[in-house]
Amino acid sequence: MRDLKRLRARRRRPVAAVLSGLAVACVLLAVRTPDGVEVLAAARDLPGGRLAAADVVVVRLPPDAVPAGAYAPGTPVSGRVLAGPLRRGELLTDARLLGPGLFRRTLTGQASGNPVGGGPPTVSEASAVGPGLVATPVRMADPDAARLLSPGDVIDVLAAFEDGPFQARTVAQEVRVIARPPVRTDGGALLVLATTSEQAAQLAQAQAQGRLSMTIHPQ
């Protein structure tokens, strides 16, 4: 009787080993064949500005739900600049970030003498502001008002001229803020706006002849 039990136990061991191996194989197969594609998304509501590592999370979506230009995990997005506000869970794509070298010197706060590959943005970088638009730096007279702005805000720019009868007029309407370097307490505040070439020329003329201020469009 004991010999019969031992024989049955010996026969069960190979079967158990095979079943165990099949279970492990199934687990490995499930891990190696994911159901979707991993991409980067906003970890929280983001107002704009530079991204930090904690601002993004990895999400998994069906392949047909992933838009063109989405970023895969491991893409170096920390330090990149959002073109506008981003809601929690919204995907990061190349259309939501400014070009990698755009305004690198002013956005990082490095001194102009540091070798950071400065100079005006290239054609490919400038195209990040939108089709048919250019990046136009302007200096606002009131630094406190500029502190209210974030990339993605839309403003009207007004100019006040001191020569002759004091008057003010609107020189650019519904232009988007794409960068706001650190505000200094002296000399006003620098903004970078997405404008047409015609608006850029009007802003340059107004800036040379008067002081610039703004009104902010509610969003």
pLDDT digits (tens, 9 = 90+) for 176-217: 988 877 766 666 788 889 899 999 999 988 888 888 999 999
50 within some domain: yes
Which is more confident, 181 or 106? 181
122 within some domain: no
Q: How many domains does the chain have?
A: 3
Nearest residue to 180 via CA among 197, 195, 199, 193: 193
pLDDT of amino acid 69: 83
What's 128's DSSP letter?
A: G
Which is more confident, 209 or 128? 209
Is residue 3 located within the same domain as residue 58? no
pLDDT of amino acid 185: 60
pLDDT of amino acid 133: 81
What sign does the dihedral 198-200-205-207 (CA atoms) show?
A: positive
Q: Is 38 helix (H, G, I), strand (E, B) or coil?
A: strand
pLDDT of amino acid 111: 34
Is residue 44 located within the same domain as residue 24? no
Is residue 142 located within the same domain as residue 193? yes
87 within some domain: no
88 within some domain: no
Residue 38's pLDDT band (boundaries 50, 70, 90)? very high
Which is more confident, 155 or 98? 155
113 within some domain: no
Is residue 46 located within the same domain as residue 22? no
Which residues span the domain enclosing 12? 1-31
Residue 116's pLDDT band (boundaries 50, 70, 90)? very low
HSE-up (13 A, CA, CB side) for residue 162: 6
Contacts of 216 (CB under 8 A, 6+ apart): 148, 149, 153, 154, 155
* Range 75-100 average pLDDT: 78
Which is more confident, 79 or 31? 79
What's 97's DSSP letter?
A: B
Residue 51 scores a pLDDT above 80: yes
Is residue 185 located within the same domain as residue 141? yes
Is residue 203 located within the same domain as residue 160? yes
Which is more confident, 119 or 21? 21
CA 23 to chain centre: 43
User: What is the pLDDT of the chain when averaged over all its residues?
Assistant: 73
Is residue 26 located within the same domain as residue 67? no
103 within some domain: no
pLDDT of amino acid 13: 55
Is 14 buried (19+), middle (13-18) or exposed (0-12) by CB count in 10 A?
A: exposed
194 within some domain: yes
